[in-house]
Structure 1
């Protein structure tokens, strides 16, 4: 099968497009013909070093994906050949205490597609049936692929961790990235007021066009002062952030007393000042979050079926142009997800 894989670590020179063995479907697994995937920062990390992630070379990239069921065993009652599906990229062991309590995303032996095992930038992928979900009819393959990482991550942050309420104000840092945009879409559909930040005026305007209530330019405005002005001196109920050190102080200072901050990344550094006095005096709550459980993806997909949510796809590349797609992701100028078509490009679903 044709795939995108790394033969070493470094720059795009180690990213190959060529033939790899087609995976064999094991008992209880589903073989999926991948139609589309999207890029994530971890694809750059795996290309650059993959340090700390157990993997072998050559290694197929790609964390999320959507496609068509190619093969399924007779023991599987819910999936059929030809069905359009979305993939959950986290393969839990099924035996540890966390898997057994239904918290598979905390599994001590979890393996992720594109990290610990071959990923979705390939014509086929085989994975357990429990990780394969019917695809929302309202989406095309590129849009559906984007749900499995960024929207699932934002879903857990907003509803699983922060447990947002429709009367609350949510402050979202770094609008333009996949998780931040997903958080904006979900928060607005949940009835919340959304304040977004970026250092890019163009991204802020596009976020306003998508429904953000207020936008703050971090390069020309004091974020905390603006948040307080917009909330009558009260502060935001919830902060969603994946930037880390560069914005952490603003994030804490922008919260209302008893407010919640949920973090899922640290692209600008992971050692910010703790500001412990502020945390305990104002009784702030801090949550770490990564991806989401199988049940959370099920709930997200049901929500998509009942709403007008469509992931924002900023650019689509064929598999043969994956080097250009990786360059675009690394530049950080995208507004939304960068999709990779594995099969033919698909029109918007009706």
Structure 2
């Protein structure tokens, strides 16, 4: 089978499209013919070399997998060959594409218990947009952040996969959304998704603008997975009794906390990691009901994986980048 293989840790040249052995299902496993796979910053981190992990090479990344069941291992019940499915990437505290071989290939193997049947109304592309971006956003905003209708939430990096998902889910919840992005084009698209206030963080101090827009009280919730470059500003922009939620730190982990604001304002800082099976089912239900349409920047053939990754790495995307093996 063809696969986008990481053969060397580091830059884009470390990933090549080549022939690779087709996976075989073990007991309790299924092989899926991949029809769409979502690309995430995680794929870039894995290519560069995730700190503390020593994956054997070559490695196939790609965690957001949608396709058709191709083969079943011994003891599998409740799943049929040919069935359309979304694959939940979390496997016993490990992740497909990160710790285990993923879906940037024509075929992928996963435990059969991780397969979620796709409703007829949900396409492979819609499904492959969900787990890592939309699943993370749903858990971060709702489960951990407890976002409520009528509250105000500010979202940094609102034009990326997780950010766009946050904007859409926050609007579904009935919150007021302050969306922060780096270009006017991205801000215009965020406004079309329902964002109420638009902040170009390249042209103005996002923290000061949020403070002004909220009548100098701050937001109920600040979404910051940028980290080092923005954390102090996020603390300053959060109201008394508000909360900051995070699921990562794309600009670095060593943050300036500005602690006096944290204790004087009694700010809650909430970490959020991954998603649950119920989160993914909720997202599929919303798509089927016409309440949610995942935003897709583009769909690329496997042979154009370098361009797909470049767009993501250079932050030229709006929404999800998908690959069709």
Structures share fold, TM-score greater than 0.5? yes
Show the 5 A alignment for 1:125-164. Answer: 125-164=108-147
Q: State the shift of 1:49 in Å.
A: 2.5
Residues 113, 153 of structure 1: alpha-carbon distance in 2 compared, 3 angstrom cutoff: same
Structure 1 stretch displaced more, 120-129 or 78-87: 78-87
Instruction: State whether structure 2 residue 210 is matched by structure 1 residue 227.
Output: yes
Tell me which residue corresponds to 1:103. none
Give the conservation status (yes or no) of the 8 Å contact 1:54–1:115. Answer: no
**How far apart in 1 are the matches of 2:168 and 2:277?**
21
Residues 238, 136 of structure 1: alpha-carbon distance in 2 compared, 3 angstrom cutoff: farther
Residues 235, 138 of structure 1: alpha-carbon distance in 2 compared, 3 angstrom cutoff: farther
**Which of the residues 190, 198, 203 maps onto 1:215?**
198
Instruction: State whether structure 2 residue 258 is matched by structure 1 residue 283.
Output: no
**How far apart in 2 are the matches of 1:231 and 1:77?**
54
**How far apart in 2 are the matches of 1:209 and 1:302?**
23
Show the 5 A alignment for 1:59-78. Answer: 59-72=59-72, 75-78=75-78
**How far apart in 2 are the matches of 1:54 and 1:131?**
25
**How far apart in 1 are the matches of 2:143 and 2:119?**
22
**How far apart in 1 are the matches of 2:323 and 2:204?**
36
**How far apart in 2 are the matches of 1:202 and 1:327?**
19
Show the 5 A alignment for 1:1-350. Answer: 1-72=1-72, 75-92=75-92, 110-342=93-325
Q: State the shift of 1:74 in Å.
A: 7.7
Q: Secondary structure at the match of 1:65?
A: strand
Give the conservation status (yes or no) of the 8 Å contact 1:239–1:255. Answer: yes
Q: State the shift of 1:160 in Å.
A: 1.0
| Structure 1 portions without partners, runs of 5+ | 93-109, 343-350
Structure 1 stretch displaced more, 16-25 or 292-301: 292-301
Give the conservation status (yes or no) of the 8 Å contact 2:228–2:252. Answer: yes
Give the conservation status (yes or no) of the 8 Å contact 1:180–1:241. Answer: no
**How far apart in 2 are the matches of 1:126 and 1:16?**
20
Structure 1 stretch displaced more, 262-271 or 297-306: 297-306
Alignment length (residue pairs): 325
| Structure 2 portions without partners, runs of 5+ | none
Residues 136, 147 of structure 1: alpha-carbon distance in 2 compared, 3 angstrom cutoff: farther
**How far apart in 2 are the matches of 1:302 and 1:130?**
19
